[in-house]
Structure 1
Amino acid sequence: MKIGILGLGLIGGSLGYDLRSQGYHVLGVTRRRSTCERAIALGIVDAASVDMNLLATAEVVFICTPIALIIPQLQQLMNYLPLTTVITDVGSVKTPIVQAIAPLWKNFVGGHPMAGTTDSGVEAAQRDLFLNKPYVLTPDATTPQTAISVLEKIVRSLGANLYFCSPQEHDQAVSLISHLPVMVSAALIASAMNETDPQVLQLAQNLASSGFRDTSRVGGGNPELGVMMAQYNRQALLSSLQQYRQNIDELTNLIQQENWAALELKLQSTAQARPNFVE
């Protein structure tokens, strides 16, 4: 089977590595010729081009561009593919993408691999990035079962943990565990930087260790990606931020009231709940 990848960054490049290792013939398209050459040299793809026509023979195409480019790239890609081609994307927001593309392309299945790093570009691609990681597919009522089955087989070949849900359910869940943490983490960094005493600020920077590193990691990532999360998943993210604000207000009140017993109960509750989200 020939599989096309449009966009050879971290996700697209990592897909290329793993799909080739499973015996698929991988075709890559990207904007820069230098990236094409590098992807071939690294063994990410069998062939690469800046011309979408390369993907005309692909049976499945993964669109691995930033969120804002997925729909316009699909509209261009349609001119080169037979109607039987299965198309999917890897965007972290699904509702606006599925709503826009499903009427345009029958064999489209929204997708989101929940894997990645803070690095970007073809050089950041790595093998086994998706192994034992969640991979969500978000078909709607019009999605053909044949297209879903094709993608299910491919995703399982990556060693990923496959989940199915509606685009709306995906966006609500991801706003809580992915998009909200980016904003919370960014606010943490901003709060620390707001310290007006330069000596205290410098001391804080010198003393920052694993706790600050872990909680600030996603807030120190790609700003463009953070903006796109907020722009394309706006309503769900606003709802999650409101829930977070209510919890911050509750903690603030408990500390102001010196209600240490209630604070301990709250922290016991969160400590018990955390394993339900992370191992």
Structure 2
Amino acid sequence: MNIGIVGLGLIGGSLGLDLRSQGHHISGVSRKQETCQRAIERGAVDDASTSLSLMERAEVVFICTPLGVMRSTVAALIPHLAPETVLTDVGSVKGWVVEEIAPLWANFVGGHPMAGTAESGIEAALPNLFVNAPYVLTPIASTPARATQLVEEIVRPLQVQIYHCQPEEHDRAVAWISHLPVMVSASLIAACLGESSPAVLEMAKSLASSGFRDTSRVGGGNPELGMMMATYNRSALVRSLHAYREILNQFIHWIEQENWVALEQALQHTRQARPAFTDQGSPCQSGQASSFSQP
């Protein structure tokens, strides 16, 4: 199959590596000619160009650009597409994307492969990045079933776990487990930097080990990603931040009041609850589709 990828960064490049290994012909578009050349050298694409006209023969196009330029990119891409071409994206927010893109192109399927690293760019692209990772599709009532099925058929061999849900459901869910952690982690780093004693701050830096590395990792990532989360998933993120602040205030109250019984009960509860979020076992087996129910 002829597959196009617009945006040859970490996700676009990794998709190219994997889809090309499945026997598809991959054409890539990037803003920079050097990125195009490097993508060819790395085997992520068969051909590449800075011109969207390269997508004229594509049967499916993955939009892997930042959210901020996605709508303008799709608008510029449409004149080069055949009417039956299927578009899908990889953005971490789905409500805004579907609202903006679906009216522009009937054969659009919102998508979000939930995999990545702290690195960015074509050099960060990795084979098998998506193995066992959730791959969320957010078709709406107007999305042609054929378009959704085609995207599923393409990504299923990557050994992903396919989920279906509404765009709003997706955004509320990722606000809790992806976007909120970034803000909490960044706030942790900022709070540490607020230590008034330079000597204590330097000691803290010297003593920081695995616990701090784990909890601060996403807060020390690419600022552009955090800004996109806040900008395009603002409502769900603010909702989760307010809820988190209420829980944090409750913990502060227990500690100030030396209510060790309540604190221990809360810590026991969170210890028991964590595996449901982190264990690899999932009701959706690898490569199968699953639908979330309305919360």
The 1-side partners of 2:102 and 2:227 are apart by 24
What pairs with 1:97-116 in structure 2 (closer than 5 Å)?
A: 97-116=97-116
Question: Is 1:273 matched up with 2:273?
Answer: yes
Aligned to 2:48: 48
Aligned-partner residue type, residue 260 of structure 2 = W
What pairs with 1:1-279 in structure 2 (closer than 5 Å)?
A: 1-279=1-279
The C-alpha deviation readout for 1:245-264, integer Å capped at 9, x for no partner, is 01100000000010001100
The C-alpha deviation readout for 1:36-60, integer Å capped at 9, x for no partner, is 1111011110000001001110000
Q: CA deviation at 1:225?
A: 1.0
SS of the residue corresponding to residue 162 of structure 1 reads strand
Aligned-partner residue type, residue 264 of structure 2 = E
The 2-side partners of 1:70 and 1:83 are apart by 19
The C-alpha deviation readout for 1:59-87, integer Å capped at 9, x for no partner, is 00000011111111011100100110000
Q: CA deviation at 1:100?
A: 1.3
Moved over 2 A (4+): none
Q: CA deviation at 1:102?
A: 1.0
The C-alpha deviation readout for 1:226-273, integer Å capped at 9, x for no partner, is 011001000000000011001100000000010001100000000000
The 2-side partners of 1:136 and 1:109 are apart by 10
Aligned to 2:293: none
Bigger RCO of structures 1 and 2 (CA < 8 A, at least 6 apart): 2
TM-score by length of 2: 0.94
Aligned-partner residue type, residue 59 of structure 2 = E
Aligned-partner residue type, residue 244 of structure 2 = Y
Identity %: 61
Aligned-partner residue type, residue 208 of structure 1 = A
Q: CA deviation at 1:141?
A: 0.4
SS of the residue corresponding to residue 120 of structure 1 reads coil
Stretches of structure 1 that go unaligned for 5 or more consecutive residues are: none
The 2-side partners of 1:157 and 1:143 are apart by 22
Aligned-partner residue type, residue 85 of structure 2 = T
The 1-side partners of 2:14 and 2:159 are apart by 13
The 1-side partners of 2:102 and 2:54 are apart by 23
How many residue pairs get aligned? The number is 279
The 1-side partners of 2:69 and 2:272 are apart by 40
The C-alpha deviation readout for 1:178-201, integer Å capped at 9, x for no partner, is 000000000000000000100000
Q: CA deviation at 1:157?
A: 1.3
Q: CA RMSD in A?
A: 0.5
Aligned-partner residue type, residue 258 of structure 1 = E
The C-alpha deviation readout for 1:126-152, integer Å capped at 9, x for no partner, is 000000000000000000000000001
Aligned to 2:288: none
TM-score by length of 1: 0.99
